[in-house]
A and B are shown apart, each in its own frame.
Chain A
Amino acid sequence: MQQPSDIASTSLIVVKLDVPDTVKSFDCGDEDLNDFILHESPLYRKEKLAVTYVLKEADDIANEHITAFFSLSNDRISISDFDNKTKYNRFSRRFNNHKRLKSYPAAKIGRLAVHVSAKGMNVGSMLLDFIKRYFTADNKTGCRFITVDAYSAAIPFYLRNGFVPLNDDDIDEPTRLLYFDLNDLDED
């Protein structure tokens, strides 16, 4: 795997976008992902549903040439004692205070994309490694898993990086939910 030393030697910075910030142009080769960063991500920021970080040159004040971006939000993985949703719904309607759910805290990568000009430089893996350690190095509120809503073309990338599918319900959908157990990073 290529080391990111060539990236380290540049003047790249990472910035969390504020609500009024916009990204002027971006092309990762996927129209849907481009549309997310150009038009949809401000709505998530405004509603406090997700925050977006951009990787860019330090002098790119107007976000005209960003190299990559990722969006993060709080998440949870919940498991039920029931065999299926119908049985669970029937039970929870009768007993409102007895959810019989166990939830584990997680952080979700809503979207992550790299500009076409930076493909093959392991920028995606670098950002993924950062996110994994970011939530274990200074785990302020408790976070056991990283989840991701992955586009089907990116699923091999996430599998290579230790993620596994949550279930098979979305196997034929344009995006699949995968997760990474942060306990895998523990030292013996």
Chain B
Amino acid sequence: MRIYKNKKIMARPIKETPILYGEDARRFVARMQEKRRISQEERARINANYELVLGMLKRGEALKQQRHATAV
């Protein structure tokens, strides 16, 4: 527990994913078996963002290794 702006706070724990029963389980399975496809435009955007962030991640990891090596 911490004090933030005169209030006691603590971040909520990440919630566990529950087991699905009954109607929830049936709805989930039915949706899983449905064939849905995203549009070509959406796919292009997702791929572009993936490549963009992957590049950032690779640069970040390379920089981290470089700094570790310098520190050693």
- Enumerate chain A interface residues (CB-CB to B < 8 A): 1, 3-4, 7-8, 12-16, 31-36, 39-40, 44, 49-50, 53, 55, 58, 61, 71, 73, 75-85, 88, 101, 104, 106, 108, 110-111, 125-127, 129-130, 132-134, 137, 147, 149, 162, 164, 166-170, 174-175, 177, 181, 183-188
Contact = CB atoms under 8 A, between A and B. Distances in A.
19 contacts: A4-B49, A15-B64, A31-B4, A32-B9, A39-B11, A49-B14, A55-B53, A61-B67, A75-B17, A79-B21, A80-B20, A85-B19, A101-B19, A129-B50, A133-B46, A134-B54, A170-B15, A177-B15, A187-B43
A188 B21 CA distance: 31
B21 A1 contact: no
Interface string B41-54: 00101111110111
Interface residues of B, number: 43
Contacts of A177: 15, 17-18
B9 A174 contact: no
A188 B38 CA distance: 10
Given A1-B45, A80-B20, A185-B38, A73 B52 contact: no
- Interface hub of A44, A73, A104, A183 (most chain B Cβ within 10 A): A183
A181 B31 contact: yes
Task: List the 7 shortest-distance A-B pairs measured between CB atoms, nearest first.
Answer: A133-B50, A13-B60, A129-B49, A130-B53, A110-B14, A36-B11, A15-B60
Given A169-B18, A177-B17, A132 B46 contact: yes
B28 to A, nearest CB: 6
Contacts of B38: 162, 184-185
Nearest to B68: A18
Contact of B19 (A13, A78, A164): A78
Contacts of A162: 38
A130 B54 contact: yes
A89 to B, nearest CB: 10
Contact of B50 (A88, A106, A134): A134
Interface string B1-45: 010110101111011011111101100110110001110000101
Residue from the set B11, B46, B57 with the largest chain A CB neighbour count within 10 Å: B11
